[in-house]
Structure 1
Amino acid sequence: MKELLKETSKLLWLRRCGPRLSASCVFREQPGTMFILYMLITGVSAFTLQAEEHAGPCRFRGKHFKMQFRLEGEPVVLRCPQTWSWEGVSVDPHANQTWRRNSSAQMVPGKEARMWFKDGTLWLLPALRADSDTYICTVRNASYCDEMSVELRVFENTEVSLPFVSYPQILTSATSGSLVCPDLSEFTRNKTDMLIRWYKDSTLLGQDNEKFLSVTGTPHLVIHDVSVEDAGYYKCALTFSHEGRQYNVTRTIELRVKQRREGTVPVIISPLQTISAALGSRLTIPCKVFLGAGTPLNTMLWWMANDTEVNSAYQGGRVTEGPRQEYSENHENYVEMPLVFNPVAREDLDTDFKCMVFNTQSLQTLHATVREASSSFSWGIALAPLMLLFLVLGGICLYKRGKRRAGKTYGLTTLRTGHQDFPSYPSTIKEVK
């Protein structure tokens, strides 16, 4: 602003007095010039005050989710969180950015020679344990004022600090994978000859090792045929130079190895290939898949209609996929998803329905066709209760008729034999010699 006022004053004097200034001209024109300068200063001040009033108080947007855990004696770079994301809108590069410590409200870098501010980042070179604090970045321009905080924790460079400063990464056994040395962008920007050294339990991993391979120019360490014994702490180190002095930038990775799961090829055990149904009736066709007795893998199950997903083929919802169910029977795993018709229409008779299941082991498909049920079969079912009723009534009639005949025969026998005298016979029988 001072430079602008100075240039404006100079132009005014040159215009009135010409290139050859004289004392009389200056004093003669000074009242007018001073008035113009006064008006310029007043206008700029009013605009600045108006902009600050328009910006209003700063809105605190909270603490950034990523905490910074670093080792003492190493370079630390804190990036203003608003420069990463500000509601999806890029922050004005001309906005004023400032840092302060939350514990003392002290502005940083202040007079600290090892601290400086550059391109929205706060550099601490090197970091000390006393630097542990919450740092607040303020972004302000004429339209808004925004604040966010970043938490920094600086630990002593010992083995005790490893659980706090390490980055967990996971690889699967019996496969090949890679570790990544994280958070190096501020130290490797515009560098194509990046050289990172990798250590396992303080042992340098050589470039010609068949087990471990450090990929030159990248932050990756490839590990072939990962085993459980490869788990543990790895350290990646990068040399950073500033004003003729070199610093070590290290990151610690905790490798966790998970066992590889041997999955089972899914087997579709239902539905039948042909299903009979009456037109206009509700029909449910279950698709049941056997997944084996081990730990089940993530399995996708869905229905197709003429090579189109059911939800797309029947947008009206007449034919839909039912709820997915996962369960176990006799220590064996199954997954099931029905296909529901509400109701069955004639167009379904010409549609190729497919139950499809997919996991990392295989892709299986089973076709199903809907067939119209025959009418005779329906009449037989309808007449079956009536025929049973006739049989029951006929049996009851036969039973009653037989009972009446048995009663008449018993009465006649009693009447004929009730009043006759029969001769007596001796009760003893002689022995024949």
Structure 2
Amino acid sequence: MDAFDQPLNLTWGKNGSATIIPAGYRKTRILLQDDALWFLPASSEDSGEYICTRRNSSYCADVSVHLTVVEKSAVRNISYLQKAFTFSPGKVVCPALASFVQKNTNYELKWYKGSIPLDIDNKKFAVLKGTNYLIINSVSLDDSGYYTCQLTFRHEAGQYNITRTIRLETLGQKKRSRPVIVYPNEKVTLAGLGSRLTMICKVLTGESSHFYTEVWWLANKTYIGRLYQKGRVTEGERQELVENDENYIEVPLIFDPVKEADFNTDFTCVAHNSLGHEIRAAQVKQQERDTSWYLALIPVALVVAIAGGVCLHKCWKRRSARGYIATKS
């Protein structure tokens, strides 16, 4: 039989002591169960170096474990660091409970911040049975600090409390905002038939990063690229702007050229992120012909007509005078 196929005997010993803790050993507070050494409960005198030895007739291996038992007042020195982002849901996880809960799905933890029990009201905090975490529905900077989770553990005739302390560090991030369409702020845009037209959709995202908001155009509730496959009407390049410390997104809709069909098409700008969406309708209408130049020519035409009438009148008088003179002669 190979050396590794032979059964291994596991024992624990404390460094500097001849005491050996064999499998199945139980004396007052100390228990060896499977591969783990349990202290029920732990005492300051348990601090020290423990040697775990696995051996058989031809094999031996040692593992050294340093154990430090601290007073409750100094438990923050051995706390678990965890992080959460502000303005979003977060979790505080109670670690290293697997050996105590095993297949128990009905266990429930008690949670404290500092030494004060948390009010689990499902608005700010929530706890689910059979889970090892505390839910924070919306993390704020004030949620940073030390949290303690407590599990009531039963073993044989005894009942013990298992506690873990977590130091939660909250990381600030800018608050996200729902998008607001600034313009088009008028539903109708005038354009000449056959002209080139650009309509801009400008969206305010506030303090939110440009990354979180999508902006696009629709025509008759259809994507532009799908309806205008030949590219006569296209979406231009997305522009990300910062004005007065606030973020904006601009997406142009380009007509090259404007056709009569565009005057009967419903165009819509859509802005969307995880907090909401907004839509804004826009239509293209044919621009009336400019008659201002006709109006400008009216005074000129009147002057020309008056001047022409005066000239004709003078010519007529001259011809009449010549005829009278000739008759008299």
TM-score, normalisation: structure 1: 0.41
8 Å CA contact 1:325, 1:336 repeated in 2: yes
- Cross-structure match for 1:338: 252
**Aligned pair partner of 2:94 in 181, 203, 210:** 181
1:396-415 CA distance string (max 9 Å, x none)? xxxxxxxxxxxxxxxxxxxx
The 1:230–1:358 alpha-carbon spacing in structure 2 relative to 1, beyond 3 Å, is: same
- Cross-structure match for 1:323: 237
- Cross-structure match for 1:125: 36
**Aligned pair partner of 2:106 in 193, 210, 230:** 193
* Higher RCO (Cα < 8 Å, 6 or more apart): 2
The 1:189–1:322 alpha-carbon spacing in structure 2 relative to 1, beyond 3 Å, is: farther
- Cross-structure match for 2:84: 169
RMSD: 5.0
Equivalent residue of 2:268, what SS? Answer: strand
Q: 1 CA distance for matches of 2:264 and 2:37?
A: 76
8 Å CA contact 2:268, 2:281 repeated in 1: yes
Q: 1 CA distance for matches of 2:213 and 2:140?
A: 26
Aligned length: 238
- Cross-structure match for 1:305: 219
- Identity value in percent: 32
TM-fit CA distance, 1:251: 6.4
8 Å CA contact 2:262, 2:284 repeated in 1: yes
Equivalent residue of 1:252, what SS? Answer: strand
Query: What are structure 2's unaligned runs of at least 5 residues?
Result: 13-22, 24-33, 39-46, 51-64, 70-74, 294-329
Q: 2 CA distance for matches of 1:223 and 1:189?
A: 25
Q: Which has the larger share of helix?
A: 1
- Cross-structure match for 2:146: 233
* Mapping for residues 256-405 of structure 1, pairs under 5 Å: 256=170, 258=172, 261=175, 263=177, 266-270=180-184, 272=186, 273-279=188-194, 282-291=196-205, 298-359=212-273, 363-372=277-286
Computing the radius of gyration over CA atoms, which structure comes out larger, 1 or 2?
Answer: 1
Equivalent residue of 1:192, what SS? Answer: coil
Residue 313 of structure 1 aligns with an amino acid whose one-letter code is L
Query: What are structure 1's unaligned runs of at least 5 residues?
Result: 3-105, 117-122, 132-152, 381-433
Residue 205 of structure 1 aligns with an amino acid whose one-letter code is P
TM-fit CA distance, 1:232: 0.9
Q: Which has the larger share of strand?
A: 2
The 1:241–1:331 alpha-carbon spacing in structure 2 relative to 1, beyond 3 Å, is: closer
TM-fit CA distance, 1:339: 1.3
Q: 1 CA distance for matches of 2:258 and 2:223?
A: 18
The 1:249–1:262 alpha-carbon spacing in structure 2 relative to 1, beyond 3 Å, is: closer
Q: 2 CA distance for matches of 1:363 and 1:224?
A: 22
